[in-house]
Amino acid sequence: MPVEADAFAGLATETVDVTASGLTFHEGVVAGRRVAWCVAGAGGESAGRATRLLIDGHRPRVIVSAGFAGGLDPALTRGTVVSPRRSINRTGGPPIAVAAAGQGGGTSAASNMTGSASSASSADLTIVSVDTVVTTAAAKRDLAAATGADLVDMETYAVATAAHAAGLPCVSIRVISDDASQDLPKEIAALVQPQSGMRRLGAALAGIGRRPRAALDMWQLWEHAVVDGRTLAVAIKTFLEGLSDSPSAVSQPGSSPDRP
């Protein structure tokens, strides 16, 4: 979503935008590295398609799935930066390694983060990708019990699958936007669906009409998202700064998610 990417985009210099197949791809320099990124919208279908197009058009060396995630493990507090080791989906696809190894001693990207946000080691964390937003604490508990995952999003597995198919390593960098105990506004599921800005505005106004308190809830969620977007930008920049020129700097596609 744009709020996840805006702060990172603000770090980039020498930027160029290219539109292809209805998506805008951005290219620029961050931390001395040439990077390309795309705001594809929520969901695995959109993220997977954008990843395939980005690979075809930019021939990257590594793919990064970056954004927000919901916490399933109560130890993951809101604002925590996480680089999980493996990605799974709810439908039983094989686990895919998304571990981020850094320079030298093979430390995780998350453990190298600096700044006010807390961070979590990626050693044993699993991210599960689902088709819809998990909005309640009860649903998060059920998902954790069913999958053994520590955090949840909607895109990482699709991105990792596209990267793996292209023979590229994939890294996941996520900020916990809502912890395991937090219920999200029920209107949020309608707002993150692929749709035009006008339709999203209409969905928001309809939600407020049905439940006036939704206006305050969504505003608070937006404020948190802006802060989390800044945290995410710092996390990606830190990963780029620690990225080795060696091809072994990140896990290779097809490697076991249970081994470093």
Check: CB of residue 1 under 8 Å from CB of residue 41. Answer: yes
Check: CB of residue 102 under 8 Å from CB of residue 171. Answer: no
CATH of 64-249, one of 3.40.50.10320, 3.40.50.1580, 3.90.550.10, 3.50.50.60: 3.40.50.1580
CA distances from 15 to 7, 21, 34, 66, 103 (A): 14, 20, 10, 19, 27
Check: CB of residue 155 under 8 Å from CB of residue 43. Answer: yes
What is residue 88's predicted lDDT score, i.e. its pLDDT? 96
Helix (H) or strand (E) holding 71: strand 63-71
Q: What is the spatial distance between Cα 24 and Cα 18, in angstroms, rounded to a whole number?
A: 6
Full pLDDT tens readout for the chain, 260 residues = 888 999 999 999 999 999 988 899 999 999 999 999 999 888 889 999 999 999 999 999 999 999 999 999 999 999 999 999 999 998 878 999 997 544 222 333 343 333 334 455 445 899 999 988 888 899 999 999 999 999 999 999 999 999 999 999 999 999 999 999 988 766 565 556 554 555 555 655 565 566 566 566 666 777 888 999 999 999 999 999 988 764 444 444 444 343 33
pTM of this structure = 0.79
Query: What is the dihedral sign for C-alpha 178, 233, 101, 80?
Result: negative
DSSP alpha helix (H) spans, 211-252: 214-242
**The one-letter amino acid at 158:** A
Q: What is the spatial distance between Cα 149 and Cα 171, in angstroms, rounded to a whole number?
A: 17
Spatial neighbors of 49 by CB under 8 A, at least 6 apart, are: 21, 23, 40
Spatial neighbors of 86 by CB under 8 A, at least 6 apart, are: 95, 96, 97, 98, 99, 125, 126, 127, 257, 258
